Chain A
Amino acid sequence: MTPTHPDLGSQLINLCSMMLLLTTFAIVAQRRLSACVDLFAFQSLFLAVTAALVAWFTDSPHIYIAALLTIGIKTAAIPMILRRVIERVNVKREVEFIINIPPSLLICGALVILAFSVTEPIAKLGFLLTRDSLAIALAIVLIGFFMMISRKKAITQIVGFLMMENGLFLGATASAYGMPLIVELGVFFDVLVAALIIGVYTHRLQETFDSVDTTKLTGLKE
Chain B
Amino acid sequence: MHTALLILIAAPFVAGLASLAVRTRPAMERLQLAHAVVLWAAMAAVVAGVVMGGDGDSAVSVGPLLRADRLSAFMDLMLAFVGGTALCYAVGYMGEELSRGHLTFPRYRRFFVYFNLFLFAMVLAVNLDNIALMWIAVEGSTISAALSVGFDRTKAALEAGWKYIILNFVGIALALFGTVLIYYTSEHVLGVTMEALSWTALHRVASHTTNGLNPVVLKMAFIFVMMGYGTKAGAAPMHTWLPDAHAEAPTPVSAMLSGLMLNLGLYAVLRLKSIVDPAVGQSFAGSIMLGLGLLSMAIAATFMLIQRDYKRLLGYSSIEHMGIMLIGFGVGGPLGLFGGFFHMLNHALAKSAAFYAAGMTLLRHGHKMIERVTGLARQAPAAGSGLFLAAIALAGLPPFGLFISEVLIATAAYRYHQGIAYLFLALLALAFATLVAPLSRMTLGAPVQSEAGSESLTVTSGPDRLMTMALGINLAALSLIGLLVPVISLDWLLPISALLEAKAGLP
Least distance between B443 CB and chain A CB atoms (Å): 24
**Cβ of B160 under 8 Å from chain A:** yes
User: Which residue of A1, A134, A175, A208 is within 8 Å of B153 (Cβ)?
Assistant: A208
A71 within 8 A of B: no
Kindly state the interface size class of chain A when it binds its partner: 35 or more
Q: Does A186 contact B (CB under 8 A)?
A: yes
Contact B185 A217 (CB under 8 A): no
Contacts of B383 in A (CB 8 A): none
Query: Judging by beta carbons under 8 Å apart, are B177 and A220 in contact?
Result: no
Residue contact B150 to A176, C-beta cutoff 8 Å: no
- Which residue on chain A has the smallest CB distance to residue B191? A1
Q: A180-B193, A201-B150 are in contact. Are A118 and B220 (CB under 8 A)?
A: yes
Which residues from B are CB-within-8-Å of A205? Answer: 158, 162
A135 at the interface (CB under 8 A from B): no
How many Å lie between the Cα of A176 and that of B133 in the bound state?
17
Shortest CB distance A222–B (Å): 6
Task: Say if the beta carbon of B277 comes within 8 Å of chain A.
Answer: no
User: Which chain A residues border B166 with CB–CB below 8 Å?
Assistant: 148, 157, 161, 214
> Judging by beta carbons under 8 Å apart, are A208 and B155 in contact?
yes
Residue in contact with A177 in the complex, picked from B155, B165, B169, B187, CB distance below 8 Å: B187
**Is A187 within 8 A of B176, CB to CB?**
yes
Within the complex, what minimum Cβ distance (angstroms) separates B304 from chain A?
11
Residues from 178 to 219 in B contacting A, C-beta threshold 8 Å: 180, 183-185, 187-188, 192-194, 197, 214, 216-217
Within 8 A of A (CB), among B132-176: 132-133, 135-136, 139-140, 143, 146-147, 150, 153, 155-156, 158-163, 165-166, 169-170, 173-174, 176
B180 in contact with A125 (CB, 8 Å): no
Take A187-B176, A214-B162 as given contacts and tell me if A134 and B184 are in contact as well, using a CB distance cutoff of 8 Å.
Answer: yes
Specify which chain A residues have a CB less than 8 angstroms from the CB of B136 in the assembled complex: 183, 186-187, 189-190
Q: Does A38 lie at the interface of the complex (its beta carbon under 8 Å from any beta carbon of B)?
A: no
Does any Cβ of A come within 8 Å of B247's Cβ?
yes
- In the assembled complex, the Cα of A145 lies from the Cα of B171 at a distance in Å of 10
A209 adjacent to B155 (CB under 8 Å)? yes
Q: Which residue of B lies closest to A196 (CB)?
A: B143
Q: Are A176 and B165 in contact (CB under 8 A)?
A: no
When chains A and B are docked, how far (Å) is the Cα of A205 from the Cα of B147? 14
B150 partner residues in chain A, CB cutoff 8 A: 201, 204
A86: chain B residues at CB < 8 Å are: none
> What 1/0 mask marks residues of chain A from 179 to 222 whose CB sits below 8 Å from any chain B CB?
11011001101100110011001001100110000100101101
Name B's interface SS.
helix
Q: Tell me, yes or no, whether B464 is within 8 Å of chain A by CB.
A: no
Given A201-B150, A222-B306, answer yes or no on A125-B185 (Cβ-Cβ < 8 Å): yes
Q: Say yes or no: is B76 at the interface (Cβ < 8 Å to chain A).
A: no
- Inter-chain contact A182/B176, CB cutoff 8 Å: no
> Is residue A138 within 8 Å, beta carbon to beta carbon, of the partner chain?
yes
Residues on B with beta carbons closer than 8 Å to the beta carbon of A208 = 153, 155, 158
Contact B143 A219 (CB under 8 A): no
Select which of B169, B180, B183, B184 is within 8 A of A194 by beta carbon. B169
B406 in the interface, Cβ–Cβ < 8 Å? Answer: no
Minimum Cβ distance to chain B for residue A126 (Å): 7
Identify the stretch in A26-34, A75-83, A164-172 within 8 Å (CB) of chain B at 4 or more residues: A164-172
A183 CB contact (under 8 Å) in B156, B162, B197, B243? B197
- A176 vs B143: C-alpha distance in the bound complex, in angstroms? 27
Write out, one digit per residue, whether chain A residues 100-129 have a CB within 8 A of any chain B CB (1) or not (0).
Answer: 000000000000000000100110011000
Given contacts A122-B214, A126-B184, contact A194 B192 (CB under 8 A): no
Query: Are the C-beta atoms of A145 and B162 separated by less than 8 Å?
Result: no
Residue B96 lies at the interface, judged by CB distance under 8 Å to chain A = no
Contacts of A121 in B (CB 8 A): 216
Given the contacts A161-B170, A183-B136, A172 and B183 also touching, CB distance less than 8 Å: yes
Q: A136 contacts the other chain (Cβ, under 8 Å)?
A: no
Known pairs A176-B187, A222-B303; A190 contacts B140 (CB<8 A): yes
Contacts of B165 in A (CB 8 A): 197-198, 201
B132 in complex: contacting residue of A183, A193, A204, CB < 8 Å: A183
- A179 near B139 with CB under 8 A, answer no
Instruction: Tell me if A194 and B143 are in contact (CB < 8 A).
Output: yes
- The reply to whether A220 and B159 contact each other, CB–CB distance below 8 Å, is yes
Q: How far is the CA of A7 from the CA of B147 in the complex (A)?
A: 48
CB <8 Å contact, B159 and A217: yes
Q: From B307, which residue of chain A is reached at the shortest CB distance?
A: A222
Report B51 CB to chain A, min CB distance, Å. Answer: 31
Chain B residues with CB under 8 A of A179: 132, 180, 183, 197
Q: For the complex, is B248 an interface residue (Cβ under 8 Å from A)? A: yes
Assembled-state Cα–Cα distance A180/B185 (Å):
15
Let me know if A168 and B177 touch, CB within 8 A.
yes
Cα distance A222–B304 in the bound complex, in angstroms: 10
- Taking a contact as CB atoms under 8 Å apart, the answer to whether B153 and A204 are in contact is yes
Nearest chain B CB to A137's CB is how many angstroms away? 8
- Chain B residues near A190 (CB, 8 Å)? 136, 139-140, 143
Known: A179-B197, A220-B247. A171 touches B220 (CB 8 A): no
Contact of A141 with B by CB under 8 A = yes
A115 to chain B, nearest CB (A): 11
CB proximity of A173 to chain B, nearest CB, Å: 10
Tell me the chain A residues, 38-88 only, with Cβ under 8 Å from chain B: 60
B173 contact from A125, A141, A193, Cβ within 8 A: A141
Chain B residues in the interface with A (C-beta under 8 A): 130, 132-133, 135-136, 139-140, 143, 146-147, 150, 153, 155-156, 158-163, 165-166, 169-170, 173-174, 176-177, 180, 183-185, 187-188, 192-194, 197, 214, 216-217, 220, 243-244, 247-248, 303, 306-307
What would 14 more interface pairs be, CB under 8 Å, given A164-B170, A168-B177, A204-B150? A1-B192, A161-B166, A164-B173, A177-B187, A180-B194, A182-B133, A183-B133, A190-B143, A197-B146, A198-B165, A201-B150, A201-B158, A208-B155, A220-B160
A-B contact pairs, 28 of them (CB 8 A): A1-B192, A60-B192, A148-B166, A157-B166, A164-B170, A171-B177, A175-B180, A180-B193, A180-B194, A182-B133, A183-B130, A183-B132, A186-B136, A190-B136, A194-B139, A194-B169, A197-B143, A201-B146, A201-B162, A204-B150, A204-B153, A204-B158, A205-B158, A209-B158, A217-B159, A219-B155, A220-B160, A220-B163
